[in-house]
Every structure is written in C-alpha cells, then in structure tokens.
Amino acid sequence: MTDIIDRLEFFLADRGIYMLALILFAVGIYGMIACGNYMKKIMCMNIMQVSIIFFFLTFGQKEGGTLPIALENIFSAEAYINPVPHALMLTAIVVSLGTTGVGLALLMKIKDIYGTIEEEEITGKGGK
Amino acid sequence: MITESLRPALAIATALLAAILILFFGNRLKPNVREGITLVAAAVMTGLVFSMIPKVLGGGAFVAELWTIADGIQLKLKTDGAGMVFACIASFLWILTSVYSIGYVRGHHEKNQTGYFAAFAACIASAIGIAFSANLITFFIFYEMLTLATYPLVAHYRDEKAKASGRKYLAYTLVSGQLFFAAIVWVYAKYGTCEFAAGGFIEAGSMPKALMCVMFFMMIAGGVVKAGVMPFHGWLPSAMVAPTPVSALLHAVAVVKAGVFCLLRIICYVFGPESSAWCGGASVLSWFAVFTILVSSMVAMRQDNLKARLAFSTVGQLSYIVLGICILSVYSIAGAMFHMVAHAFLKITLFMCAGAIFVTTGLSQISTMGDLAKRMPVTCVCFTAASLGIAGLPLMAGFISKFNILQGALTMGKPMFIAVLMAAALLALSYLIPVVRIFFGKESSSQTVSCTAAEHGHVHSSSGFDAAPAMLIPLVLTTVVAIILGCFPDAGTHLYDMAVMAAEEIMGEGGIYLAG
Amino acid sequence: MNQIAQHLPVLIILFPLCATLLCPLISHFSPDWGKRSVISALFLSVVCAVWQLVIVVSSGESIHYFLGGWKPPIGIEFAVDNVNAVIILLVAVISWTTSLFSSPFEKKERTRSLYSAGYYSMLAFLAVGLLGMSTTGDAFNLYVFMEITAISGYGLIAVGEEKGPIASFRYLMTGTIGASMYLLGVGFLYASTGTLNMADLADKMPQLTDSPLIIIAVACLIVGFGIKMALFPLHGWQPAAHSYAHPGADPMIAGIMIKIPAYAMLRFFYCIFIEDSKVMQLFFAALGVMAVLGVLFGSLKALRYDTYNKILAYSSIGQVGYIAMGFAIGNVYGLIGAVLHIVSHAFMKAGLFYTSGALKYRYGIHETTYLGQVYRKMPVTSLTMVVCALSMIGLPPFAGFFSKWYLALGAIQKGQYIFVAVLILSSLLGAIYFFRIIEKLFMEREKISDEENNMRTEKKGKELPWQMLVPLIVVVAAVILIGLFNAYIAGDVLKPVITEVFLK
C-alpha cells in the first residue's frame, strides 16, 4: 500500500502535476471556444491563465528547497527554491487581472448596446 | 569614350517635372500656361536628347549612375545606339503630338485636360527612361511607370466602355509585367548581373535548354504584350476608346514601341543572338510574328472604324519589327530598329489624320467618309502618302526598313519569311488603299458629310479650310519627315546610322551571326 | 548630452509612458493640453529614435542597456542594434502621426473630456507596448509589453464603431490565448535553460536544440506569435478588429500592431536558434505553409468585399504572409525583404487607413460604394491612397516593390520557386482589388447628392485640418523615399546585422 502511495507521490511530483496544468489549460481553451456566454468565456480565460501560473510555479519548485528568503544559517543556493518563476508570475497575475478587467468593461458595453451577453443572441442581432 | 554625365537623367527629369507641375498646379493655371509647360518641356527634352547624338554616333556613350536602387544594383542610365534611336523619335514626336493634342482637346472640348497632359508627360518620361535604361531593374521601373501613366489616358472618358478597356489594358500589362519581374529576379539570382550588354550576357548552354526557353518567354512576356503580338494583342484595339492623340501616342510612339524595344533589349542585350537562337525562343517568337502579320492584316480589312483599322495595322506592323529582331541578322536588326522610326512617323500621321477628320467632321466610320478630299484636301493627301509608306513603297521611310529586313531574311536563308514579308506589303495596301479611294471617290455625297457632322454636334468650324492649324501642321510635318527619311534615311539626326551601328555592335565584328 | 544619449533606449519608452499617466490628470484641467502632452511626448520619442538610429548605425555597435544596472542574466536588458533601431523609429513615427491624426476626431464628436483623456492615454500606452516589444532583450519582458500592447489595443478597438466592442472582445479572447501560448513557450525554454535573456538563451541553446521540450516550446511560440501577428490560419480576430477600430487609431492598430509581433518573432527565432537545427527546420516548414496559404487566402478574401476597411484588413493578412514568407526563406535577402516589408507595409497600410479615416471624417462613411470623384475634393488623400495602393500591389518605384524584390531574390536563391509564384499571384490579386477602389474613387460619379454632402461635411473648401494632412504627407514621403533609397536601408543598415546576428 505504501508502495503505491510512494509511486503515486512520485508520479504526481514528476509528471502528474504537469498533466494537471495541461488539463486545466485544455479546459480553459475549450471553454473559451465552446461557451456561448461571454461571462463564461472570461471565466474560462482565467482558468487558462491560472494553469500557466501553476505550470511556472511547479517547475520552480524543488525537493528540499525552502522559501527564497535569506536565512541566517543557510548560505548555499541549493537550499532555496528558484525565486524567478514566482516573481514572473506575480507580473503575470497582474496582467491577467488587467485583461479580465478590460474584458468585464467590454462586457458592460456590449450589454449596453445589445442588451445581452449571449453569443447567439448577439449574432442574431447582426453583431457578427 | 564613355562620359559620366547627368544629361540622360536630365532629359527624363524634364518630362517628369512637367508631369508633376501640371498635375499639381494645372487646375490653377490658365490652359495656355499649362500647355506652355508641356511645350517648353518637350522642346528642352528634345534638345537634350539630340545634343547627345554626335557623341553616340562617334561610338561613345553618356552614362549616368544615379544611386543604388536595390542592394547591389545601380539606377543607371546609358545612351547607346539602340536607345538613342528610340529616345529621338519619342522626344521629337512629343513636341508634335503636344501641339496636335492642344488642337484636338480644345477642338473637341475634352474634360480633365490637366490630368490628360500630366499623364502624357509622364508617359514620355517613362518612354525616354526605357530608352536610356542600362540595366533590367531600371528598365523595369520605367516600364511599369509607363503602364501606370498610360492607364488614365486609356480610361480618359471615364464611362463604362473606357473603364472596361482600362481594366483590360491593366490586366494584360500587369500580368505580363509580373512575369517579366519574376524573370528579372531569376536572371539576377542566377547570373549576378542585370546590366545590358550588346550581344547579351547569358551564355548558351549555361542552363538546360528547356529551362532557358521558359526563362526567355517569361522575360519577353512584358514586351510581347505591349508590342501586341497575337494572341496577346487584345488590349490594343479596345484601347481605341481613348482620345485620338492618345491612340497616336500609344500606337505609334510610346507604349507599343516600348514593347518592341523591350524585346530588342532582351533578345539582343540580355540573352544575345546566340542564346536566343540556341534555346529556340527566337524562332518560336518569329512564328508568332508571322502569324500576327497575316492575321492582323486580314482583320484590319474588315474594320469599318478608321481608328480600329489603324489599330490592327499597328499590330501587324509591330510584328514586322519583332520578326526583324527574331531573324537575328545584322541587316534585319538594323531594319527592325529603323522600322521603329519609320512606323512611328507614318502611323502617327495616319492617326493624326483620323483625329483631325473626327474633330472637324465628326466622322469615324470609313464608309461615311466619301468625298472627304474636297472638304479636307491636305489631310487626305497626307493620309494617302502615309498609307503608301506603311505598305513599303520606295522613296518612303517604310521601304528602307522593310528592304533591310528582307535582306536579313535572305542572308539567313529563310524563304518563308520572305514570302510573308512580300505578302504583308500587299495586304497593307489592300486595307489602306480602299480608305484612300473612298476619300477621293464619290461614293457618298457631300451632303451626308455635313449631315452627320451636324448630328454629332461637336463640329469645330464647319466652314474653315481643312482641320485647325494646331492639328494640321503636325501631321503635315510628320508626313514630310517620313518622306525625307525615305529618300535620305541618314538625313538630319543619323537615325539610320545609329541603327546600323547598334546592330553591328550586337552581332559583333563579323556582322552576321550564323545560327547553328 | 552624453548622459542623455546613454539612456536613449529607455527614454524612448519613458516619454509615452509618462504621457499615459499624466494625460488623464492634465485632461482633468484642460483636455486640449492633455492631448498635446501625448502628441509632444510621442514627438520626443521620434526625436530620440532618430538620434538612437544615428548612434547605432554610425558606431556599428549595438547598445545594451541594463535596467537598474542589473547585468543579465539577472536583470532585464534592452538591446538595440541596427535592425530594431529602424523598427523603433518606425513605431515612433507612426505613433506620433497617428496621435496627430486622431486629434480632429473628438473635436467633431464633441465628446466629454474624460473620453478624450482615456483615448489619448490608450494611444500612448499602445506606443509604449510596441516600442517596448521592439526594444527588449528579455523574453518575459516581451510578454509584458505584448500584453500592454494588447490591452490598450482592446480599448482602442472598443471605442470605435458600433461593432467595436464585440470585435474587441473577440480579439481579447484570441489575443489572450496567443499571449498565454507565448508565455507557455517561454516557460518551457526557461525550464530547460534557466534564463530569460535572449542573448543568454542563444548561448545555452545549442546543447539542447533537439530536445522534445524545445520543440514543444517552439510550437507554442509559433502559435503565440502567429495569433498576435494575424498569421493565417490564426487570423480570425483580425478583420473585424481592424475594420471596426476607432478610425483615428486604426492606422496604428492596422499599421504596426501586427508587425511588431512579427518582428519579435524574427528576433526570437533567429537570435536564439541555430539555422540548421531541427527546430528551425520545423519553423521554416510551418511558416512556409502558413505564409503561402495566408497570402493566397488574404488576397482572395479581400476580393469578396466592398467595404474599404474590410478590403484593407484582409489584404493585411496577405501582407503578413509576405513577412512570414521572408522568415521561412531564411537567407540574407529573405530576411532583408521581411524586415523591409515590415517597415514599408507599416507605412502603406497606415497610409491607407489614414485615407479611410479621412474619408470617414469628411463624409462620415468610408464605404467606397457611395463615394466618387473624391480627388476633386480631397487631392492629398487621393494621392496618398494611390501611392500606397500602388506600393501594396508592388509596383516600382515604391517601397512595396523593393521588399517584394528582396523576397523574390531570396526565394530564388534558396530554390523556393513556389514562393515567387505566390508573390506574383498575390500582386495581381492585389491589383484587382486596389484598382477597383481607385476606379471607384476617381471615375464614378458621386452617389451622394450635394445637399446631403454639405450636411456631411462641416467645413467646405478646405480638404482636411492640418493635423490630418501632416500624417498623410509623412506617409507618402516615406513610401516614396523608402522605395527610392531602400538600398541604404537594406544594404548599409540591415545587411550587416542580419548576416552577423541573425544568420550566424
């Protein structure tokens, strides 16, 4: 039993976590294409962006590494995890927030003009 | 021998400047001032071109390397014998056609005169540019400029018919121009140069025969279309909707001659006689020319519209030149070049006559022109003289050139071509002499003439003698020049000498290249 | 002087960035000055860009600017060599002229000051993004600038015509996928090399070139850049976005917003990967196919439309195909052709959209069906349109001809005859749709009656306000001068860097 758990843990750390990111990414893109509701599209877009953030954070991780804050008794670089992906993802989060904001603003405007945010209804009203 | 000089560039710049001035300020100037610009520019340019003749006759050349136009290629102008022949006729005839145009457009109350004169000047600038280009890129730039500058002239009237023929013109010339472009790139990529050289720079055997043949035909596509070789002549008759001076310019001087000149440059200065013969392109092209000569003459006979008949005659006569080039002997090439001159003067006379008749009497159909000689005697006499010249009667310019081409065919031992050339002379007579007979005959009364004229309503002066002087003088002048050139081909500007010189340069010292 | 010269790369971006932030503030007190602050900031960028180009070309060395003094691979680096100095100047010039061009619009629309402030802020921000994308030497920084460009672009498209918000929203969806793909690709590269600096990536890449991770990264990057540059078949967002964007900002959106990702793609692939690696073969093959199909698709599709903006938008898809074709050819002349086409097409397309905007301003419409004999009332606009259209078709002596010349030369040298055939075919198709417009605008009678016409045009007699004429004249001059003197750009400025840096 413990063997299976060990192997599962290993799998998760080695491949599985990336597969999870990939699945999230695929779900996001699928949603953006398939959903008819613009609000759902924006949500799916966020899922997709989160999956990328997730991906960056996982490959920045390593076994036995600790937070990249200088501790008094640890000097070697091996003991810390790579801080760069985290820094990058802070920026990426800000970017995705900005994109979402713009998307929501657009939705308000679309709602004003067409009175709906359903793709089908808008196409019907000549919004193609 | 070779002098660095900006003179060739100045000649082009003069015409371009005139075009730009007219385009931008034409509407604000009085018509007289505007036409003054055209005439002054024409005179200055002709002076510049003619001033270069002595040097070229002495075997020298003016070269203007302007600037690098593309990586590794100069925008370069050079005056050699062949180019000078073309430049001389284009610049000289510009003066005459502008005088004639002024008479025509005013007599006919044309619209958009400003655009008309601007495009006209741009056309001539590009024609001179084509004549002086020293490499393929420079040549192509001016060649496409000519296409674009001619388009507004063809579509001048802006009605459905004019637009349709404008479209047709563009379709023919742009498609062929793009093929030409691809071929230029190909040649440049393969041989690393695109500088014209007498005798060509492409060596026979430097690439597979079939491939070189493809290259040859892509290269001449531009020329063949502009020169109206059948079956690529479709645009020429439909471009007839344009005002007559435009037809005169298109059909006698700038566009079609540029096409023929393009063929000359490519066959003799890019591929060279040897490669052209080796890859078989020249002989295929010569059969196209033979076909065109025969068929166009027959089509011309059936046209009742005078301008249309002249247009098909142009198609045939141009193929004469093409045939002359394709025979690839020193005589025939010299003859071909001189036929460019002769045909320019003769055909422009014919067109100017047609235009004068149209403006003065409102007639455009041959069958209605009975007894015209009484009304417009001078015009009719000039028309007769030019018709005989086109047919190649001795003592007219057409005779010299045709004789040379015949001699070339004889030395190369091509009896078939000789037969065609003889037949073509007779055919030319058979489609032009009936027109003359109607002019001098009494097939319809003079009453009909005045009736139709009144119907048309744009009769300039129904009681004056012949056409307006601005139209009459140029057409008399061109007739006189054509006769003088016929009696003394070397008179004045030594065009014949230059043509022979250029032909000898192409063929090398031996004079005759014997096809293997 | 020297002190300033050191900081040029960042100053060029900093001016519009400051204007972005200050414009709303100033507009609160005086909308006119807010507008002027943006125009003058962009003008300063132009001046600096010229200066920078002179420095880079005359010294023959590229400028490396380390932000905050942090050396790569830790810090962010701005690298400017001959090629991107040209691109930066291009972006600065078009941004400046566009900001000038759009100023009469809101006067006519009589909108609130808040609107004007937002519009100019976004315009300046778009310039920031584009300038940043062409300057940066850091892969992640490129992503940030890409998103800056995109976000301001969404805004400018949304404030356009009635269908603007929808077009903008669709662009937002697709654009975000593109940017995410790019980020994913960068992630893979970072995971395998541990660096984000492009020069550093180039050093570390040779050992890894054929690993599957890199191949996945390349595929992601191609899709990412492809979406951003509207490369067929990833162009779906583009026609609507370009046709319905704000007519004042459209020249910039259509002119350079899809070119700069193309340039970034060039820099990314050619600087990082070696030419004969497996990855680059994949890149050549993918781009070649996309380019050929895109050129044909864009040109054919443009034939089917009557609306001026739609025709221009679809023709852009074809023209981006030209650029991609240059990348796929991948020898000296191919790349020169591609870069030259980025520059010349930016001017041509911006010019055509300026004319579209001018028609919109003067007549309130830009559907060519209703217009005729425009040249009588708007000679400068008509001249611009003719010059740009002829250049688009690729007729000499305009800029478009020479980029086509280099592309064709490169293609033949590499033995890719199909590219030459496609180039010719697309020129001819271009001739059809452009001459159709020219014919309409010059030869048809006007379909609007005079009364209607007077109602539509507020000011009679004068063609356009000077703010609109200046951009038109700049564009015409650029198209003609780039055409005539392209050899200096291609031979002296681009060629050394392309041979030494891009094709090591």
Task: Record the pTM.
Answer: 0.90
Three-state DSSP at B69 gives: strand
Positive/negative CA dihedral, C355, C356, C362, C368: positive
- Measure Cα distances from B423 to B112, B321, B413, B500 in Å: 43, 16, 18, 26
Domains of chain A, first to last? 2-124 (1.10.287.3510)
DSSP tag of C490 = I
Question: Subunits with at least 3 CB pairs below 8 A relative to chain C?
Answer: A, B
Q: What angle do CA B273, B274, B280 make, to 5 degrees?
A: 90
For chain B, 516 residues long, give each residue's pLDDT as a single digit of tens.
Answer: 777 888 888 888 888 888 888 888 777 777 778 888 888 888 888 888 888 888 877 777 888 888 888 888 888 888 888 888 888 888 888 888 888 888 777 777 767 777 788 888 888 889 889 989 888 899 999 999 988 888 888 887 777 788 888 888 888 889 999 999 999 998 898 888 888 888 778 887 788 888 888 888 888 888 888 888 888 888 887 877 777 777 777 666 778 888 889 988 888 888 888 888 888 888 888 888 888 888 888 888 888 888 888 888 888 888 888 888 888 888 888 888 888 888 888 888 888 888 888 877 777 777 777 777 777 878 888 888 888 888 877 777 778 888 888 888 888 777 788 888 888 888 888 888 888 877 777 555 444 444 444 444 444 444 556 667 777 888 888 888 888 887 777 777 777 777 777 777 777 654 444 433
d(CA C346, CA C357): 16
Give C-chain residues touching A32 at CB under 8 angstroms. 173, 177
> Which residues of C have a CB under 8 Å from any CB of B?
333, 336, 390, 393, 395-397, 402, 405-406, 408-409, 412-413, 420-421, 424, 427-428, 431, 435, 439, 442-443, 484-488, 490-491, 495
Question: Position B352: which residue type?
Answer: M
Choose, out of B12, B23, B71, the residue to mutate when testing the contact with C (most C CBs < 10 Å). Answer: B71
Backbone phi and psi for residue B30, each to the nearest 5 degrees, phi listed first: -70, 150
Query: Do C408 and B175 lie within an 8 Å CB cutoff?
Result: no
Helix B255-264 with B330-361: angle, nearest 10 deg:
170
Q: Residue B274 has which token pair?
A: 């040897």
Task: Flag whether B touches C (3+ CB pairs, 8 A cutoff).
Answer: yes
Query: Is the N-terminal amide bond of B231 cis, ω within 30° of 0?
Result: yes
Contact between chains at B186 and C412 (C-beta distance less than 8 A): yes
The answer to whether the peptide bond before residue B208 is cis (omega within 30 degrees of 0) is no
Neighbours of B354 (CB within 10 A): 26
How wide is the angle at C-alpha B441 spanned by C-alphas B435 and B444, nearest 5°? 95
Neighbours of C383 (CB within 10 A): 17
φ, ψ at C376 (rounded to 5°): -70, -35
The residues with which C64 forms a beta bridge, in sequence order, are C79
Q: Which of B166, B178, B189 is nearest residue C409 as measured by Cβ atoms? A: B189
Q: Are strands B61-70 and B2-4 parallel, antiparallel or unpaired?
A: parallel
Cα B279 to chain centroid, rounded: 28
Look at phi and psi of residue C30 and say left if phi exceeds 0, alpha if psi is from -120 to 50, else beta.
beta
- Cα→Cα distances C391→C62, C395, C479, C480, Å: 31, 6, 7, 9
| In contact, B180 and B143? CB cutoff 8 Å | yes
**Those residues with Cβ within 8 angstroms of residue C379's Cβ, 6 or more apart along the chain or in another chain:** C463
Ordered alpha helix ranges (H), B265-305: 272-278, 281-301
CA distance C179 to chain A (A): 10
| Domain residue spans of chain C | 2-502
d(CA C145, CA C228): 12
> Could you give the C-alpha distances from C163 to C49, C64, C242, C284, C363, in angstroms and in order?
36, 43, 11, 37, 19
- In angstroms, rounded to a whole number, what is the distance separating the alpha carbons of residues C32 and A23? 51
First CA to last CA across chain A, in angstroms?
58
A100: closest chain C residue by CA: C172
Give me the interface pTM, i.e. the ipTM. Answer: 0.90
Q: Is C279 on the interface with A (CB under 8 A)?
A: no
Chain A: touching chains (3 or more CB pairs < 8 Å): C
Q: Does C68 touch chain A (CB under 8 A)?
A: no
Burial of A128 (0-12, 13-18, 19+ CB in 10 A): exposed
CA angle in degrees (0–180, nearest 5) for B358-B461-B439: 45
How long a stretch of residues is chain A? 128
Q: Does C161 reach chain A within 8 Å, measured CB to CB?
A: no
* Burial classification of residue A69, based on how many CB atoms lie within 10 Å of its CB (0-12 exposed, 13-18 middle, 19 or more buried): exposed
Cβ–Cβ < 8 Å for C34, C26: yes
